[in-house]
Chain A
Amino acid sequence: MSLQLTDDQLDLLKEVFNLGVGRAAASLSKLANNKYEVVLSLPKLQILPLRDMVSILETESNNNITCVSQNYTGPFNGTAHMIYSHAASLRLVTMMLDSNVPSERLSELESDALMEIGNVLINACLGALSRMFKAEIETELPQILSGTPENVFKKGHPNFDLPVTFIRSEFQIKEENLKGYISLFLETDKIQKLLEMIDQYNQELMGM
């Protein structure tokens, strides 16, 4: 399936992601007791086969990612995935936690903190869409997976030719010289209904 987004569709999807990332940044900062300011880049959006997204993630994440996935249902259904590079996420969580936390508890707390931030980001994006479209969107509990990008996505997505909508922002914590990416991807074969609603929303705004 090939998909070409209009400028209005691209603009709205990026803005919605921006809202989500902004909330996620605030949550990150709050988890670290507001000691750090998280600086975000503008989101980039690409539509590409899943295999190409996996290649990008392999290069950028040193082949090790953590992914929080959440199914949503409503006027449009699908799964949103928030992806972190593993090294950046581990440092993030270490920064947030008391240095007295025993190392054996770190990975447990890491999953918990990343799941929470993923949950905030995904729900902020979906919440923004829900308010715009005045429609209820329900989410299931988030799930977290870590490993190589290929392994993380192989299970739920046997077809790596599947086109996906891949949106990402770079985050930076200057005080700690830490950089990473927050990404979201949506299965493109499931976003047709969402795109129709975006068009309808834009028409309503224009037809005022």
Chain B
Amino acid sequence: MSILLIVDDSKTIQKQITHFTAQHFPELKVVTASSAEEALTLIPGIIKDLRVAIFDFNMDGMTGLELIEKVKDIIPTNKIILCTANIQEAIKAKAHGHGVNFKEKPLTMDNFKETINIVLKK
């Protein structure tokens, strides 16, 4: 089954995205990680089914951008969405420099649906 990975230290955001996914993309199974470090242990086991990965930026330990650095050779960066309320140009520029999608938090049901559809077509 195709997998959507959420890496976010907020359980609220994990639940919200899980809810949005169940509503609009029931074909995707959601896998959650509460830190970049946890994601790094999960990714090898799910990599062949991974279709979309949503990374938070501001997390304890490694940031979402640091996680991108670690996984960019095994996950196509156009399948990654960096999702943050920290919409500083410097952070956007770094995200775009890696070729990842950048989305402002909070996601609404509509912009989640639109973004996931775009990423799934890439």
A-side residues, CB < 8 A to B, are 7-8, 11-12, 14-15, 18-23, 25-26, 29-30, 34, 37-38, 40, 42, 124, 128, 131-132, 202, 205-206, 208
| Pair A26/B86 contact, Cβ less than 8 Å | yes
Q: How far, in angstroms, from A25 to B22 measured CA to CA in the complex?
A: 33
Hey, which chain B residues are within 8 Å of A26, CB to CB?
Answer: 86-89
Counting CB contacts under 8 A, is B76 at the interface?
no
Q: How far, in angstroms, from A20 to B13 measured CA to CA in the complex?
A: 15
| Pair B12/A124 contact, Cβ less than 8 Å | no
| Pair B12/A42 contact, Cβ less than 8 Å | no
| Pair B87/A206 contact, Cβ less than 8 Å | no
Q: How far, in angstroms, from A128 to B16 measured CA to CA in the complex?
A: 13
Counting CB contacts under 8 A, is B78 at the interface?
no
Counting CB contacts under 8 A, is B59 at the interface?
yes
| Pair A11/B86 contact, Cβ less than 8 Å | no
Hey, which chain A residues are within 8 Å of B106, CB to CB?
Answer: 19, 128, 131-132
| Pair B15/A19 contact, Cβ less than 8 Å | no
Q: CB < 8 Å: which of A21, A124, A206 contacts B15?
A: A206
Q: Nearest Cβ distance between residue A69 and chain B, in whole angstroms?
A: 22
| Pair B10/A11 contact, Cβ less than 8 Å | yes
Q: How far, in angstroms, from A12 to B84 measured CA to CA in the complex?
A: 15
Hey, which chain B residues are within 8 Å of A131, CB to CB?
Answer: 106, 108
Q: CB < 8 Å: which of A7, A29, A38, A208 contacts B19?
A: A208
Counting CB contacts under 8 A, is B11 at the interface?
yes
| Pair A42/B9 contact, Cβ less than 8 Å | yes
Counting CB contacts under 8 A, is B23 at the interface?
yes
Hey, which chain B residues are within 8 Å of A25, CB to CB?
Answer: 86, 88
Q: Which of B1-41 contact A (CB under 8 A)?
A: 9-13, 15-16, 18-19, 22-23
| Pair B85/A19 contact, Cβ less than 8 Å | yes
Counting CB contacts under 8 A, is B90 at the interface?
yes
| Pair B90/A34 contact, Cβ less than 8 Å | yes
A-B interface, 6 closest residue pairs, ranked by CB to CB distance from nearest: A22-B85, A22-B86, A19-B85, A37-B90, A15-B10, A205-B15
Hey, which chain B residues are within 8 Å of A11, CB to CB?
Answer: 10-12
Q: CB < 8 Å: which of B9, B11, B18, B58 contacts A7?
A: B11
Q: CB < 8 Å: which of B10, B12, B15, B91 contacts A37?
A: B91
Hey, which chain A residues are within 8 Å of B86, CB to CB?
Answer: 22, 25-26, 40
Hey, which chain A residues are within 8 Å of B89, CB to CB?
Answer: 26, 29-30, 34
